[in-house]
Amino acid sequence: MIDITIDMEQYDCPYIDISDGCDVSFSAAQWEFDRRTDTLETRMITEGADRDALDNGLGALREHPNLTDYDLLSRQDRVAHVRTTIEETAAMHTIRESGGYITGPFHIEEGSELWHVGFDREDGANGTLAELERQNEFDVVARRSVELADLQGFVQNVSAAMTLIEACRDLSETERRTLEAAVDEGYFECPRGATLGTLAERFDVSKSAVSKTLRRGQSKTISRVAEALRALD
Do the Cβ atoms of 100 and 124 come closer than 8 Å? yes
What percent of the chain has pLDDT above 70? 92
What is residue 203's DSSP assignment?
H
Does 158 lie in the same domain as 139? no
Confidence of residue 143 (pLDDT cuts 50, 70, 90): confident
- Asked whether residue 77 falls in the same domain as residue 104, the answer is yes
What pLDDT digit, counting tens, does each position of 167-205 carry? 788 889 999 999 999 999 999 888 888 899 999 999 999
Is the model more confident about 123 or about 19?
19
Q: Are residues 227 and 135 both part of a single domain?
A: no
Q: Of 114, 146, 178, which closes a domain?
A: 146
CA 227 to chain centre: 24
Asked if 103 and 33 sit in the same domain, the reply is: yes
pLDDT band at 117 (very low <50, low <70, confident <90, very high): confident
Q: Are residues 120 and 25 in the same domain?
A: yes
- Residues 76 and 13 occupy one common structural domain: yes
217 and 170, same structural domain? yes
Same domain, 9 and 87: yes
Cα–Cα distance between 99 and 191 in angstroms, integer? 52
Which amino acid type is present at position 89?
T
Among residues 98, 120, 146, the one where a domain terminates is: 146
Residue-wise pLDDT for 21-65, tens only, equals 899 999 988 888 888 888 889 999 999 999 999 999 999 999 999
Same domain, residue pair 118 and 188: no
Does residue 26 sit in the same domain as residue 128?
yes
Give yes or no for residue 152 having a pLDDT over 60: no
Question: Residue 1 in contact with residue 82, Cβ under 8 Å?
Answer: no
- Judge whether 163 and 202 are in contact, CB under 8 Å: no
Query: CA 138, CA 7: separation in Å to the nearest integer?
Result: 5
The average confidence (pLDDT) of the chain is: 86
Determine the pLDDT at residue 156: 64
pLDDT at 134: 83
pLDDT confidence bin for 158, thresholds 50/70/90: low
Task: Look up the pTM and report it.
Answer: 0.65
Q: What is the CATH number of the domain that holds 187?
A: 1.10.10
Same-domain pairing of 54 and 138: yes
Q: Which pLDDT score is estimated for 82?
A: 95
Burial class of residue 181, CB neighbours in 10 A (0-12, 13-18, 19+): middle
For residues 83 and 170, state if they share a domain: no
Q: Using the predicted structure, report yes or no on whether residue 126 has a pLDDT greater than 70.
A: yes
Res 12: pLDDT: 87
DSSP codes of every residue in 171-194: S-HHHHHHHHHHHHTTTTSSS-S-
Q: How many domains would you assign to the chain?
A: 2
Q: What angle do CA 190, 191, 194 make, to 5 degrees?
A: 105
Per-residue three-class SS string for 116-167: EEEECCHHHHHHHHHHHCCCCEEEEEEEEECCHHHHHHHHHCHHHHHHHHHH
Calculate mean pLDDT across residues 112-120. 87
Domain containing 187 equals 154-231
The residue out of 146, 177, 195 marking a domain boundary is 146
